[in-house]
Chains A and B, each alone.
Chain A
Amino acid sequence: QGAGMDNYQNNEDNIDLLNEDTFGAGAVEEDWELDHNQLVGLHEAIPLLHIQNLKTTKSLHSPLQLDDEELERSNQQLAAAVEELVLNSDQDQDMIDPAIWICYTSIKPIFPKMLVKCLNSTSSLHRGPSPTYGISIPSNNNHDPVDRSLPPRSVSPLFGSPSPSNMPIGTPPKHVIMNMMHHLEQICGPPYHLNVSSQNSGMPIGVPQPRNVVWPNQQPMNPLIAQDIMNRLGMRPPTPQPNHPSPIGSPRAFMVPPPRLMSNPRQMHLPPGGNFESLINFVKICTTRFMHPMPAPQFGPGHLHPEHSKYVRMRQQRYGGHDSMGRSRGGNFFCLEHQYEERIGIPGDPYANIMNQKEKDWVIRIQMMALQSDRPEIDDYYYQNYIERRLREGRLNSDQSKPARLITPTKPNLENRKYVPVQFSNSLGKLTTSSVYNPRQIIDIVQTANQDEAGDAADTRQALSKRLVVYKTIEKAYEIIVLMEELQAQIQLCPPNASARRSLGDHLQSKTRQMLDVLDLHDGMAFDLHDDPIFQVMKIRKGKKLIGRTLHFLPQTHAVTVIQSIFSHFAILIKRDARD
């Protein structure tokens, strides 16, 4: 019995701990009943707003100077504003994770009550419960009322998703804040750009970080309320700044990318917060404006070359409507002609469309972002080379009138020939056929010239070790040549940007020097017919190819040496080539 009671006690303790985690310090340490009563009796008492970051706004009046009416009005304004912000976001709803919309709608009725707090005028060091949207915040034991900043959250946020740091790469930033800014913009003036890097201010998941946007001083609203909103949204308070146009305007307004983004044609930056219409426009702009100066625009994986996508669309129109299963292509992302209602269940399948279009688009968006890459020639090697080759050949299969015919080697049809027994002129009767007991030579075995390579048993060991040395040289040189070619490619692709080119060029130089060492080519070395390392390398098939590739990179003098060696041993090399 005692043990049972102990367990019960222990469980109680555990529950209490969990309580703190779940409901926050407010449930355990603070007297929530008192808080609740205070909130309930608020219409009688003077409502005083919770002051945060007082020292940053020196122009603030103390709360006691605000009169009731003004505060009531401002409270209502605040309620309306925040309600509008979070709940009625009908713009860019596709950027919000659809899974958390339900949470938004469920918060709605509670809002007005949560917005009003009171600050005990006796400053009993009691921090009233703030509207935390259901998130608990550990109590701030900072007794100074001036320094009341929103403490960092220590408990799991409302929406139950992992913290931002645990989000996988490729999760798009949530642009709910865009909507909030929209509405806030309607209330106050437009925001201006602020080059501030702020850390994660502990916001709930689903609310992205508005790093660079700052609101001008709000006149129509109470500065305290503005503070409140801003602190909740994690923005810095207004500081005197020159008026820059904010690059984070409406995502829909993003049609022309800023010049900065276009400077590096290799990289395809997704427009921040843009939807796919703007992405397509972006792609079009890229291709139309910048296709000419560059040899071939590098599109990342996930984006088709514009010619290719034209072809795909043409093909779709021809065969579209029904896929291989006979089902008509449903209302997918760009299929504008079929605007299906988002309803769960279709005739035939009452469980269809549980995943609505927005959710699908969200997943696709994540997948597309994961496809972005800085080096499409490596990550998307096959497609890029395919398109390059097609472009070179001048055709992208845009016309299907004459599909390419596959020419297969044809063998003469021997089956239908009339059988004619083998006959020789001037011979009598049948010819002898070969059999096991009378074998005839069917296969001609020819002795190829292998004599020049083999030595006698005595120096095979030496020859072998020499050959091994050459093999090693070749392998080392291969490593270097691969690197050099990659560097070369990068230099060519990179814009005539001095620093990048220079660094790459230096790298190339060092690699060239390495190569020379490996191939045993030293400055001022005279060509020696009998002790020619180049010839040794050339004797081997792989080495020949290596020399061919290296020649492009060698400086003049050494290239000459290599050529000299080739010409001196021309005869032997030709013979070997013929054999290969």
Chain B
Amino acid sequence: MNYMPGTASLIEEIDKKQLVMLRDGRILIGYLRSVDQFANLVLHKTVERVHVGSMYGDIPRGIFVIRGENVVLLGEVDIEHEERKDLEKVSIEKILEAKSKLQEEKQEKEKTKFKAMKERGLMPTVEQSDDM
């Protein structure tokens, strides 16, 4: 922070590997190449990491330009400690399969919940939140 002591800026995070969490719940990992005053980001060698349980899979995405308002948080990835022993890396197909299975299960649960509520005379509301 040579130029703006006491403040935080994304300029220092440039050219470093970042983990970016978006408002829709996606997690992107890539090298931050450029920012602007709105915190729009340019990510290079981006990889979308999908987590299901203790498994995860990386989908290569290339170059991302992300609009700043959709970013929840971002943080630098420590390359030396990047490997996680508690998580198991799987192939893309497998993780996507697992993810869709998870979605189905969730939907089933929601359906039964709604049905139960309706039976009791309550009107279920659909959650409209921003993160998953």
Which A residues form the contact surface with B (CB < 8 A)? 168, 170-171, 276, 301-304, 308-309, 312, 316, 325, 329, 332-335, 349, 351-355, 359-361, 363-364, 366-368, 370-371, 383
Contact = CB atoms under 8 A, between A and B. Distances in A.
Contact of B37 (A168, A333, A383): A168
Contacts of B7: 301-302, 367, 371
The 9 nearest A-B residue pairs measured at CB: A333-B3, A366-B37, A355-B34, A332-B2, A352-B15, A312-B5, A334-B2, A354-B33, A360-B11
Contacts of A371: 7
A355 B14 contact: yes
B6 A363 contact: no
A166 to B, nearest CB: 13
B9 interface: yes
Contacts of A361: 3
A128 B7 CA distance: 54
A364 B4 contact: yes
Nearest to A309: B5
Contacts of B5: 304, 308-309, 312
14 contacts: A168-B38, A171-B37, A276-B3, A301-B7, A304-B6, A325-B76, A332-B11, A332-B12, A349-B31, A364-B9, A367-B4, A367-B9, A368-B4, A371-B7
Contacts of B76: 325
Interface in B23-48: 31, 33-38, 42, 44
Given A309-B5, A333-B2, A363 B11 contact: yes
B130 interface: no
Contacts of B38: 168
B31 A351 contact: yes
Contacts of A309: 5
A352 B42 CA distance: 12
A454 to B, nearest CB: 42
A164 to B, nearest CB: 15
A309 B7 CA distance: 12
B35 to A, nearest CB: 6
B17 to A, nearest CB: 10
B11 A302 contact: no
Contacts of A332: 2-3, 11-12
B66 to A, nearest CB: 15
A304 B44 CA distance: 34
B86 interface: no
B42 to A, nearest CB: 8
Nearest to B6: A304
Contacts of B127: none
A373 B36 CA distance: 21
A276 B3 CA distance: 9
Nearest to A360: B11
B6 A360 contact: no
A94 to B, nearest CB: 13
B78 interface: yes
Given A351-B44, A364-B9, A367-B9, A359 B4 contact: no
Contacts of B9: 363-364, 367
Contacts of A360: 11, 14
A360 B35 CA distance: 8
